[in-house]
Amino acid sequence: MTDGKRVLVTGGAGFVGATLVRQLVGRGHAVRVLDNYTTGDPAHLAGVDTELVEGDIRDVAGLDAALAGIDAIIHLAAAGSVVKSVEDPVTNFEVNVLGTFRVLDAARRAGVQRVVQASTGGALIGDATPPVDERSLPKPISPYGASKLAGEGYAHAFAKAYGLPTVALRFANVYGPWSGRKQGVINQFFKAIRTGEPMVIFGDGTSSRDYTHVNDIATALRLALESDVPGGTVLHIASGVETTARDLARLCAEAAGVPDHPVEFRPSRPGEVGRNFASYDLASEVLGYAPTIAREDGIAQTWQWFLDHVFSTSAASAG
Ligand SMILES: NC(=O)c1ccc[n+]([C@@H]2O[C@H](COP(=O)([O-])OP(=O)(O)OC[C@H]3O[C@@H](n4cnc5c(N)ncnc54)[C@H](O)[C@@H]3O)[C@@H](O)[C@H]2O)c1
């Protein structure tokens, strides 16, 4: 057990937050969550010993109030969809760029000891030959990727100009429990299997991603919170394993016990990168991070969670 910190988690009622907040509380940290519940749900944290504050990260007075007595921030709140960012770049900019700026500026004024922010690997780097790492040149191809790059830029600048101890973690594709409200591909495949529809693959099935279990992402966030890495640090958090869309469909169908479930191919969508997986060597070196959940085990566990919490008739708002 480490020394308990008083941590504000923005977006803590969302998918990653639901696992992260439980892990932080379990480690003896005192957690306050600030969330406007656009995609999150207070029910995700039912029964967890945490303080819930409903509010928007773009509201300066609300942020200042939420930061009272806080030692550190984990900033998760975001408009997190690549596809929606292409449809509506303005909302994406306002939440991810202006919102992140407001969080960093409030942290600077409050003298917070650590800011850990959620960034992204694939969408930020764009189309590059994998594995990508911290030396890869960011060339985002979606407004979402650009917004995360802008957030990292402000974090680095605030570290250098004001000494704010920021760390940005570039997540791979996250999957796992509490993701019932997300539109990620594993969820889409599970829902298709459940309803008897074909699993839809955009493109020819050779595009790839690095799928990392949410428990491992939460551990990386906690390690960054507890570490003394210098401000402005950027780290990729990944599994290091490349999974094609075609392989993922097979893994999901096998986890659900229907290995021959049909697949339908449709044209690929703008803003989405082709191949992607990442190296986590630097995070391993500076945080001691290593993924612990193999994709076959994690996908099977997530299918079971969907059965218990999303697909069962008694499941209320656990997703
Ligand atoms: N899930 C992934 O695969 C993935 C991959 C890379 C990066 N990320 C990043 O990780 C973070 C968490 O993502 P997630 O998958 O848990 O998404 P999520 O949508 O489940 O969680 C985001 C949370 O932020 C809240 N929120 C949104 N706008 C807000 C605002 N203006 N003010 C206050 N709260 C607001 C939502 O209600 C939600 O609870 C995000 O920053 C996302 O960009 C996620």
CATH number of 113's domain: 3.40.50.720
Number of domains in the chain: 1
pLDDT in tens, 164-199: 999 999 999 999 999 999 989 999 999 999 999 999
Shortest-distance atom of ligand 1 to CA 179:
20
pLDDT band at 1 (very low <50, low <70, confident <90, very high): very low
Evaluate whether residue 190 is within a structural domain.
no
Catalytic, 144? Answer yes
Whether ligand 1 lies within 6 angstroms of the CB of 38 is answered as yes
Residue 79 CA to ligand 1 centre (angstroms): 6
Q: If you search the block for the tokens 């990392």, which residue do you land on?
A: 212
CA angle 137, 118, 114 (to 5 degrees): 110
> Which residue type, as a one-letter code, is found at position 136?
S
97 lines ligand 1 (CB under 6 A): no
**Locus of tokens 């509201």:** 59
Kind and range of the H or E run holding 233: strand 233-237
Amino acid, res. 129: T
Q: For residue 94, is it within any domain?
A: yes
| Minimum CA distance residue for ligand 1 atom 11 | 76
Domain boundaries, position 69: 6-177+211-240+279-292
262 located within any domain: no
- Domain contains 168: yes
Which atom of ligand 1 is nearest to 214's Cα? 1
User: How close is the Cα of 16 to the center of ligand 1, in Å?
Assistant: 7
2 — pLDDT class (breaks 50, 70, 90): low
Residue 259 falls inside a structural domain: no
How far, in Å, CA of 49 to CA of 52, rounded? 10
Residue 95 beta carbon below 6 angstroms from any ligand 1 atom: yes
The reply to whether 303 falls in a domain is no
Does the beta carbon of 272 lie inside 6 Å of ligand 1? Answer: no
* Integer Cα distance of 64 and 120 in angstroms: 26
The Cα 67–Cα 314 span in angstroms is 37
Q: Which tokens hold the place of 296?
A: 């076959």
Residue 112 lies inside a defined structural domain of this protein: yes
Q: Which tens digit of pLDDT belongs to each residue from 31-73?
A: 999 999 999 999 999 999 999 999 999 999 999 999 999 999 9
Within-domain flag for 309: no
CA distance 309 to 319: 7
Please give the Cα distance from 51 to 33 (Å, whole number): 6
Rounded mean pLDDT of 257-283? 93
Backbone angles phi, psi at 48, to 5 degrees: -95, 140
Q: Ligand 1 centroid to 275 CA: how many Å?
A: 23
Q: How confident is the model at residue 315 (pLDDT cuts 50, 70, 90)?
A: low
